Each structure stands twice: as C-alpha cells, then as structure tokens.
Structure 1
Amino acid sequence: MSVVTSGWARGLERPGVGQYPSRMADSPVQLLRLHARHAPFNARSLAAHATALVDAAGLRPTNASARAAPSARSVRFYVSNGLLDRPEGTGTSATYGYRHLLQLLGIKIRQREGQTLDAIKREMKEVSGDALERRVANSLAPALGVSDGAALARRSEEGPATWRRLPVAEGIEIHVRDDSSASSEDGLVALREAVRAALGRMA
C-alpha cells in the first residue's frame, strides 16, 4: 500500500525522529513503530487508526463483541476501566500516543482471538511494553508490509502487479495491490478513514 500526494506499554514512548529507518525495514516491530509519527491522536483518530490496522491484517472476529470497531466512546471506556493508560489532558483536549495505540491494538487483537475484556486486562498488567509491541507487530505483520520471500518470488514470476486506486481527498489517493490483505472492501474503507482522520489532524 502507498499513499500518494500531489504538490501496554509503560516505558514505551513515541520513537524519536532518529529512530526511524531510512528505508522500509523487514522487522514487524520497526514497521509498526513507523505509525508513531501519526501521534498524537485524539480518541476518534486513535480508534480509526487501530481499526484500519486490525482490519487490514485480516484478523477475523470470533464473536459480535469482537467484531465491533473501537470508537471514541470505547477508547474512553477502556481508559476508565484501566485497559488503557490515561491520556495527556482531559475532555476534548485529551491526546493519546504510540503507547496507547499499542494498548488499543493489543485489546482488539485479543478480542478477535476470543478473549474477554477481563482476561485482557489481566494480561495487560503482566506483559512488558516490549513484549506487547512484539506481540502486536507479529499479529499485524500482513498489514505492516513485512516482506514474504516466497510471495515476492511468485509475484515476480506472475508479472506486473495490479493495483487499486482509492481517492481520499483532493490530490491524495491510496494505492493498494490486489493481492494485499488490505484490498478487501472493508479494508479499503478502513484505510481511507484512517488517512482522512490523519489529514484532519494536520488541518
């Protein structure tokens, strides 16, 4: 996937600029850390970003509650129940960072695997920040663009790839390869909404 333009993890903070790799890394953790540059989030954009990643990874929900996409209201619910760390600020000025994104992703991944919120809360208290980051990165590897040598070889033999173009806003569109796990209709919608949310924060 590419975006084209014209003209729980205490102790795990947003990586500094110098920590970003100069080229696309193969490590799921390094690729996940690239999403830190979208922070700070508000509750709505945090929920949209997490939804886009989980949907793009193709993680199938096991029940109705796991199928529900996180919303700003659910983010605040998770904070009040100790599943997410408290944000910086309060009310409409509350902001969330990379640590919160990891926590929310961890919650939604485990929900889609069939775990209850009570069980997830216990897990969150026991796992370190680095362990959570690795777990989330490995679960989301298909959405993060981790290279699969065999798949790359097959694509080379099959010839040029087919890409889908998805307009997002004036002068901006998303390109998604047809064989990507994010090329489903739901995945494309989630990606577009996440990009629009990011653009809204830049306005």
Structure 2
Amino acid sequence: MSTLQQIAKQQPEMVLDRFVEVTNDLLPQFLPDQGFGNRGQEPVNPRLVRHYTTQGWLDKPLKQGREARYTYRHLLQLLVLRRLLAEGYSTSSIGSLLGGQSDSALENILQGGVQIKVEAANPALAFLSQIRDRPAPFSPNRSQARSAPPSFQALPAAPAPAPAAPLLPPAALPPQTWTRLDILDGLELHVRQDFVAPATAYERDSLLQLIADHLAKLQSLQRPPP
C-alpha cells in the first residue's frame, strides 16, 4: 500500500495544522528534481492553504462545528498544485482545473501517468486556438441552390474541375531508437528515445515497484509446476 493510500485510510479527515504537517512531509517525494527557482518548493503554511481555498484552487474544507476539516482529496489537490507550480506553471492556468479532476486522475498526475491539459495563459493564443478548431462555414451545394427565374437566361454550366493530382504517400516515420542498458547478468533494460524519465522521487519508486512486480510475475511463470 502506498503512502497516499495509507493516509486516505488512516486519516480520512485532518484539522488544518495536521493537514499542513502531512503535506510538508510528502512534498519532497512529489516535487521535480529540477524546479523553476523556488516556486512551489517552499513549505506550505495555514495562511497559504486558506489563500488557495479562497482563490478556488482547493475545494472548500468540510466543517465540523466551527472547525475546518481537510480530506484526502484536498491533499491530492494541494500536492498537484505545488508540483505544477514547481514545474513552472502559473496558478492562473492550473488552479481552475484541479476542481474538475477525480481523485484517481490527481493520483495519476502525481505518479506521472497522465499529462494535465493546461489552458494557454495568453488569452490571444487561446482565442486563436478556438478559431482554428471551428468548422468551416457552411456553403450550400448546387442541388440546394435556388433555380434562376424563368425570365432570365440560365448561365452555362461551369466546366468540370480537372482531376486532382494523386496524393503523395506520407513520409515514412523515423525509426525508433532504443538504448540497451545492462543491469545484471541476464537482465537488461531497453529504453526508447522518447521515454520520459521519472521527475520525482515518488515516480522513481513507482517505476521500480512496477519493474519488481513484472519480475515477480515472470519468476512465477518460469517456476516449474509442483
């Protein structure tokens, strides 16, 4: 069971001070090794949590009497927010997206399994993107056009267009390049050129666990039947 799953099971609700303490304990596992200055790297404090909540970047906490309670979902949102800040994204471009993500999607972002779609920070670029994606204006074909009134002489039909030149075959995709790494005697690792290496300690641990699981499964398949 991962650390996150343990927290979800053992601490379903936390007061603010405990929530801040747990977040700061976990942050080093999820922050990238190469960050952008100090953005997202400094510890979290209660004032910052309240600010994120006021801005709508974190869900509002639960209420038990007059006391705020924070859940596993708040923890995931805050960890993702701080990670993306450390990677150079602005809160204006990512904060509004966190509320619409499911818990499993937030977990995948922390594990490096998916890429979050961040809207363009420049409104002009976002507008141009919308225009580019719009369908072409509708234009009626000849069968939908109205016929000319009988008092006018019909225009001669336009000559048929010349047949289009045949399309050239698409360019061949570049061959995939693999790097072979000798790990141990009898064990080697093949890495494709477009593989993105883990950026955080948590991603590295998850990858190592995944490799260990595959090796254990292979060993069980190779074991002779009793």
| Partner SS, residue 127 of structure 1 | coil
Q: What is the Cα deviation at residue 125 of structure 1? A: 4.4
Matched, 1:142 2:114: no
Q: 2:56 aligns with which of 74, 82, 102?
A: 82
CA distance in 2, matches of 1:55, 1:140: 12
Corresponding residue for residue 159 of structure 2: none
**Structure-2 separation of matches of 1:113 and 1:54:** 13
Q: Does 1:47 align with 2:107?
A: no
Q: TM-score, normalised by structure 1?
A: 0.51
Give the Cα–Cα distance (whole angstroms) in 2 for the partners of residues 77 and 111 of structure 1.
15
**Could you tell me whether the CA contact under 8 Å between 2:24 and 2:43 is conserved in 1?**
yes
Aligned position for 2:6: 34
Q: Which residue of 1 aligns with 2:90?
A: 116
Q: How big is the alpha-carbon RMSD for the aligned residues of Structure 1 and Structure 2?
A: 3.1
Q: Aligned in 2, Cα 1:150/1:122: closer, same or farther, shift over 3 Å?
A: closer
Matches within 5 A, 1:5-44: 24=1, 31-36=3-8, 37-44=10-17
Q: Give the match's secondary structure for 1:89.
A: strand
Aligned length: 124
Normalized per residue, the structure richer in helix is 1
- Aligned partner of 2:29 in structure 1 is 56
Structure with higher Rg: it is: 2
**How much does 1:133 deviate?**
2.1
Seen in structure 2, the aligned counterparts of structure 1 residues 74 and 140 have a Cα distance that, compared at 3 Å, is: farther
Answer whether contact 1:59 1:109 (CA < 8 A) is retained. Answer: yes
Identity of aligned residues (%): 24
Q: Which amino acid letter does the alignment assign opposite residue 113 of structure 1?
A: E
Report the 3-state secondary structure (helix = DSSP H, G, I; strand = E; otherwise coil) of the residue aligned with 2:32: coil
Distance 1:64-1:151 versus aligned 2 partners, 3 A rule: same
Q: How many Å apart are 1:113 and its aligned residue? A: 0.8
Instruction: From the superposition, tell whether residues 38 and 128 of structure 1 become closer, same or farther in structure 2 (CA, over 3 Å).
Output: closer
Q: Which amino acid is the alignment partner of residue 25 of structure 2?
A: A
For 1:109 and 1:137, the matched residues in 2 are separated by 11
Give me the TM-score of the superposition, normalised by structure 2. 0.46
The amino acid across from 2:48 in the alignment is S
Q: Identify if the C-alpha distance between structure 1 residues 129 and 143 changes in structure 2 by more than 3 Å, giving closer, same or farther.
A: closer
- Decide whether the 8 Å contact of 1:78 with 1:84 is kept in 2: yes
1:101 aligns with 2:160: no
Instruction: State how far apart, in whole Å, the 2-side matches of 1:38 and 1:123 are.
Output: 25
Once the two structures are TM-superposed, the CA of residue 80 in structure 1 deviates from its matched residue by 0.7
Point out where structure 2 has 5 or more consecutive residues left out of the alignment. Answer: 113-197, 213-226
Unaligned runs of 5+ in 1: 1-23, 25-29, 153-203
Structure 1 residue 92: deviation in Å?
Answer: 6.6
Q: Hey, what's the Cα distance between the residues in 2 that align with 1:94 and 1:79?
A: 12
Instruction: Kindly report structure 1 stretches of 4+ aligned residues shifted beyond 6 Å.
Output: 149-152
Tell me the distance in 1 between the aligned counterparts of 2:98 and 2:57: 7
Distance in 1, Cα, partners of 2:52 & 2:208: 35
Q: Is the 8 A contact 2:32 2:200 kept in 1?
A: no
